[in-house]
Amino acid sequence: MFINDVEQCQWIRQKFETPGVMQFSSEEKRTLLARLVRSMRFEDFLARKWSSEKRFGLEGCEVMIPALKTIIDKSSEMGIENVILGMPHRGRLNVLANVIRKDLEQIFCQFDPKLEAADEGSGDVKYHLGMYHERINRVTNRNITLSLVANPSHLEAVDPVVQGKTKAEQFYRGDAQGKKVMSILVHGDAAFAGQGVVYETFHLSDLPSYTTNGTVHVVVNNQIGFTTDPRMARSSPYPTDVARVVNAPIFHVNADDPEAVIYVCSVAAEWRNTFNKDVVVDLVCYRRRGHNEMDEPMFTQPLMYKQIHRQVPVLKKYADKLIAEGTVTLQEFEEEIAKYDRICEEAYGRSKDKKILHIKHWLDSPWPGFFNVDGEPKSMTCPATGIPEDVLTHIGEVASSVPLKDFKIHTGLSRILRGRADMIKNRTVDWALAEYMAFGSLLKEGIHVRLSGQDVERGTFSHRHHVLHDQEVDRRTCVPMNHLWPDQAPYTVCNSSLSEYGVLGFELGYAMASPNALVLWEAQFGDFHNTAQCIIDQFISTGQAKWVRHNGIVLLLPHGMEGMGPEHSSARPERFLQMSNDDSDAYPVFTEDFEVSQLYDCNWIVVNCSTPANYFHVLRRQVLLPFRKPLIIFTPKSLLRHPEAKSSFDQMVSGASFQRVIPEDGAAAQTPEQVRRLIFCTGKVYYDLVKERSSQGLEEQVAITRLEQISPFPFDLIKQEAEKYPGAELVWCQEEHKNMGYYDYISPRFMTILSRARPIWYVGRDPAAAPATGNRNTHLVSLKKFLDTAFNLQAFEGKTF
């Protein structure tokens, strides 16, 4: 570790080199002993009661409990009121019980296999669940809120999520310096060294809109510590070098020396709360048992484990020391043990009465007032998303202006702003303006909007320009969106580091903190989301089912086949659709609130808007809905500047709303019984189809209907459209290859809604391995080929389905 700040180096030197700094009072020693008793006896208790259950015990690193408690005590003393924790499996139950202070019976009853789940969702194993608790810190006598964020098995994936939640809590409290809210991340040594997301998370701490103003990291390093014999150290399966991962001070400390651990943790907390920078405490320890309690470590590490079995537990060593020096008596020590064992036994007795498990009791981020007392949405309706015309005009005017005086913008940008002003005069919007109006109108209503991702301030396609840069004054910038109304909510737009996994996790955590915000992550191109696949699979798609926490994060994924090669083309819609939980084979009951209740039941919403107005409405709907669901939007590239892809104010004013399906409204819709073919499509290919239809003069024979909300599938509207054209052949047309895109998702749903009486023919590119060709000519030839098929009214003649 390298620190190039003299003051900081001196600070560390003074903390460790001053003679006698590690003196503890008897009171402090007794507290430390009591905390070690709890840590050790908790594991012993679980081992006694459930000897064949996995619990990923802390044995060998029992000192982690007093270590975390010291960090919290010291931070509370220095003004911290809210601590957000993330940690893996090892010792998690112990942390819940003895650091966060979850009721013991709530933990114990989780071991009961007969317990019935009472909430919606599929739940999760006990060592993944989160927790939120407000309590008095006994050492400082101040209030403190502790939360542990729920996480999947995927080690370290929760790190950026914790940081995002921490940042949001700081933001909402106006705690820009991190003086009130902080995070603690606990890591296993192998995962810490091996998982790249650790590095991505550390890297965020240097960026203004992402920094949590320092985090205390604790590494449970159970691989290198026990032995100095290099042969034994090598028998560990994962190479570990904690120091190589980060650029932050790392304090290595022997976990068998509890007083040293406590001292180091106190210094680490002081460091964080003095310099507001990251710090790592490396608890060098050993693991007394196997990876989990069912493992036999002697199979693979015989010599090391022979030594480990000879090791005296830290509690006994420390108790012996305190007894020998006269700080406690043997009797006091034994009473302390008996007292905690009694607490466990009593809780165990109570836990047996519990028949029902409420996952809701394990929420890491409560949203007070958002749901009703039973945790249900307050209504099953969505308020109208259209807004008054004067609001549209006002936002449009700000979007076309430079709100600061003497601020010189680039001439190219002046042209863009003039173009915007012209559109506003003509009561029209393009994509960028529609987005502006969605964000601006939400800000007016007090909703915080945060847009994060690579180059989002300007926009990858240079269409957004949410941050203006003075051409003459270095680093002078202006965000017009923050100059809309004096009492508006703040707008944050921030260029992220070049990370997807870390940044998407961060924004997901940010969105977790409050339902009253629109938090968006934009991929540079939709393709790159797969680098963050773990966040998508483990948190976004499944989070509500596992942990009952809603999340309204929005993913903006630029998508479209434009001859740009196999990358920069596909956001992989097929993957999101495959993970959607709406049933393809169930014929729905069309209740009055079908549209909203379908959204309530789904795990996420997948849309591909073909007009700026629809993009505007879906962004607003996201916040106006009485619940939160992740929203995946495939966003355009060439359509950003397509002359036809514009919307009129008429489609956005009060009374207008999001259209899940945009039906054909041209000539074909006037005489539907004469229509020979009804093409369903989604996204940009619509504009190719309309152009081709017009060039072939088929406006009366072929209708084109757009699916804008793909999932949950608008069964009701698709049924209406299909029935409107009784004599038409039904075709699904997509520009993606057949094994990609939407076809596999929509096809069984069409069959269900058509009661298998009419086929839905496929028109699009052939199946392929890569999402797009690297050859421009091949791209154009395949486009022409499928457009020809789309309008060849004989193409399916005589074919059976």
Asked if 220 interacts with ligand TPP (CB under 6 A), we say: yes
Q: Which two tokens stand for residue 103?
A: 């009721």
Which of 189, 270, 364, 688 touches Mg ion (CB under 5 A)?
189
3-state secondary structure of 764: strand
Q: Which is nearer to ligand TPP, 246 or 571 (CB)?
A: 246
- In the chain the first and final C-alpha atoms are separated, in Å, by 67
Q: Which is nearer to ligand TPP, 195 or 454 (CB)?
A: 195
Which of 106, 183, 222, 782 touches ligand TPP (CB under 6 A)?
222
Q: Where in 126-155 is the site for ligand TPP (CB under 6 A)?
A: 153-155
Strand partners, 731: 679, 761
Provide the minimum distance between the beta carbon of 188 and ligand TPP in the complex, in angstroms, as a whole number: 2
664 binds, among ligand TPP, Mg ion, none (CB under 5 to 8 A by kind): none
Provide the minimum distance between the beta carbon of 126 and Mg ion in the complex, in angstroms, as a whole number: 21
Which of 191, 423, 631, 681 touches ligand TPP (CB under 6 A)?
191
The strand pair at 142-148 and 181-188 is best described as unpaired
For residues 365 and 551, is the Cβ–Cβ distance under 8 A?
A: no
Asked if 190 interacts with ligand TPP (CB under 6 A), we say: yes
Asked if 291 interacts with ligand TPP (CB under 6 A), we say: yes
Q: Which is nearer to ligand TPP, 285 or 359 (CB)?
A: 285
Q: How many residues bind ligand TPP (CB under 6 A)?
A: 12
C-alpha closest to that of 162 among 131, 183, 187, 189 = 183
Asked if 232 interacts with ligand TPP (CB under 6 A), we say: no
154 binds, among Mg ion, ligand TPP, none (CB under 5 to 8 A by kind): ligand TPP
147 binds, among ligand TPP, Mg ion, none (CB under 5 to 8 A by kind): none
CA dist 678 → 545, 790, 793 (Å): 37, 10, 11
Provide the minimum distance between the beta carbon of 176 and ligand TPP in the complex, in angstroms, as a whole number: 33
291 binds, among Mg ion, ligand TPP, none (CB under 5 to 8 A by kind): ligand TPP
CA dist 691 → 498, 627, 695, 791 (Å): 38, 39, 6, 11
50: exposed, middle or buried (C-beta count within 10 Å: 0-12, 13-18, 19+)?
middle
Provide the minimum distance between the beta carbon of 223 and ligand TPP in the complex, in angstroms, as a whole number: 6
Q: What is the DSSP string of 379-441?
A: -S------B-HHHHHHHHHHHTS--STT----HHHHHHHHHHHHHHHTTEE-HHHHHHHHHHH
Q: Hunting for tokens 């047309």 — which residue is that?
A: 733
Residue closest to ligand TPP (Cβ): 188
Q: What is the DSSP string of 280-340?
A: EEEEE---SS-SSTT--GGGT-HHHHHHHHHSPPHHHHHHHHHHHHTSS-HHHHHHHHHHH
Compose the 142-181 pattern: x for residues touching Mg ion by CB under 5 A, - for all others.
----------------------------------------
Which of 188, 560, 741, 771 touches Mg ion (CB under 5 A)?
188
For residues 468 and 478, is the Cβ–Cβ distance under 8 A?
A: yes
The single-letter DSSP state of residue 672 is: G
- Rounded to whole angstroms, the Cα distance separating 301 from 286 reads 13
Provide the minimum distance between the beta carbon of 292 and ligand TPP in the complex, in angstroms, as a whole number: 8
3-state secondary structure of 607: strand
Q: Which stretch, 166-174, 189-197, 267-275, 487-495, contacts ligand TPP (CB under 6 A)?
A: 189-197
Q: Which two tokens stand for residue 612?
A: 């700026």
Provide the minimum distance between the beta carbon of 741 and Mg ion in the complex, in angstroms, as a whole number: 43
109 binds, among Mg ion, ligand TPP, none (CB under 5 to 8 A by kind): none
Provide the CB-side half-sphere exposure for 258 (13 A, CA): 32
Asked if 222 interacts with Mg ion (CB under 5 A), we say: yes
Compose the 36-75 pattern: x for residues touching ligand TPP by CB under 6 A, - for all others.
----------------------------------------
Q: What residues line the site for ligand TPP (CB under 6 A)?
A: 90, 153-155, 188-191, 195, 220, 222, 291
Q: What residues line the site for Mg ion (CB under 5 A)?
A: 188-190, 222
